[in-house]
Amino acid sequence: MAVNTMIPVARPWMDEQEAGAARRAILSGWVTQGPEVAAFEREFAEAIGTAHACAVSSCTTALHAALVALGVGAGDEVITVSHSFIATTNAIRYCGAMPVFVDIDPVTFNIDPALVEAAISPRTKAILAVHQLGMPCDLASLVSIATRHGVPLIEDAACAIGSEIEWHGAWQRIGRPHGDIACFSFHPRKIVTTGEGGAVTTDEAALDAAVRRIRHHGWATLGDMPAPGFNYRLPDLLCAIGIPQMARLEELLAARERVAGWYTERLEHHVLTPSAADGDRHGWQAYVVQLDRRDEALAALRDAGIEAQIGTWALHRLEPYRAQGAFPGADRAFERALALPLATTTTEEEVERVAAVLTGL
């Protein structure tokens, strides 16, 4: 019976086009760093509107490469949010640096720029802001603070492929970048996927060159290795799959926007529903509602065959960070957030089933 079929929290969308692209890469004989990497990087940079895009193995490695490229090292501090996916802070720790948390706005889940300034110290080497779940954070304020203090701004845009803001009167995609450097994810749980993968975008040629060196063991030119790098390459095989995925970006975004609209219509008077700031375009990596009886709702959805998730975490509650103090915004978000099923192929009937459980609690 259709009513008993499981509704998954996410479902990547790939078809014959991606299969054909993988086949083309396999039969080309290149398989790793070949023409598909360069073609995918060109497509990606053009779609985002940035000068350079460097494909890497994940957003986690993208964040690490960006931090290393900006010179973040042992003993440095990087300002970031106390509520995110764990990869955001892990990347800072890979450098031997310490994440210094600032609280989030409990409604938007995004960094509160008013708190960033107070967290800046002589050891601050970068600000790592997150466009949480695809909702653009307040970049105008962050860029202004970063510029005033001469601290680089990194954007964790893992979930924000296709998210847009109005910037000096024009629509611009996130990752242009408005900060110094931005990092994207192509994990199947995100909007565009290559299985696993990521990208680093920047307008600065020197930063792009540094990221490319770090991606490939640290080689500058053959026989010259200024500092050891890593193997963070994304192979031709996966970049080939990314090309048709990027070609359908608008289609993927429109489908997600439609599903989000169905949820909002049915739920806005029952729970706190998400929406981007006026003038911004949400990428809808996830549709996360907030409600008081979250754990009860999660159990009721699971009983009804609906996969929901908590997803993001209050990182200051983890062992290495407990001394950093209280973050009431992050606590509130962590206790009340619930990610509902959202995929390109989610149907209105599925949304109806989810809404029926939540409104019937």
Ligand X SMILES: *Cc1c(COP(=O)(O)O)cnc(C)c1O
Binding site for ligand X (CB under 6 A): 58-60, 84-85, 87-88, 130, 156, 158-159, 185, 187, 198
The least distance separating ligand X from the CB of residue 87, rounded to whole angstroms, comes to 4
Contact between 91 and 70 under an 8 Å Cβ cutoff? The reply is no
Helix (H, G, I), strand (E, B) or coil at 129: strand
Q: Which helix or strand (DSSP H or E) is residue 245 part of? A: helix 236-247
Contact between 82 and 314 under an 8 Å Cβ cutoff? The reply is yes
The least distance separating ligand X from the CB of residue 156, rounded to whole angstroms, comes to 5
Asked about 125 being catalytic, the answer comes back as no
Cα separation, 146 vs 148, in Å, equals 6
Residue number, 58 or 245, with CB nearest to ligand X: 58
Residue number, 66 or 130, with CB nearest to ligand X: 130
- Active-site residue identified among 190, 215, 233, 336: 190
| Pairing of the two strands 98-102 and 77-81 | parallel
Residue number, 108 or 185, with CB nearest to ligand X: 185
Cα separation, 247 vs 217, in Å, equals 31
Q: Which residues of 180-208 are buried (b: 16+ CB within 10 A; e: fewer)?
A: bbbbbbbbebbbbbbbbbbbbbbbeeebb
The least distance separating ligand X from the CB of residue 189, rounded to whole angstroms, comes to 7
The least distance separating ligand X from the CB of residue 262, rounded to whole angstroms, comes to 23
Structure tokens at 80: 């970031």
Structure tokens at 17: 């086009």
Closest C-alpha among 20, 106, 123 to residue 335: 106
Residue number, 198 or 242, with CB nearest to ligand X: 198
Residue number, 110 or 202, with CB nearest to ligand X: 110
Structure tokens at 257: 């926007």
The least distance separating ligand X from the CB of residue 296, rounded to whole angstroms, comes to 26
Task: List, by residue number, the catalytic residues.
Answer: 190
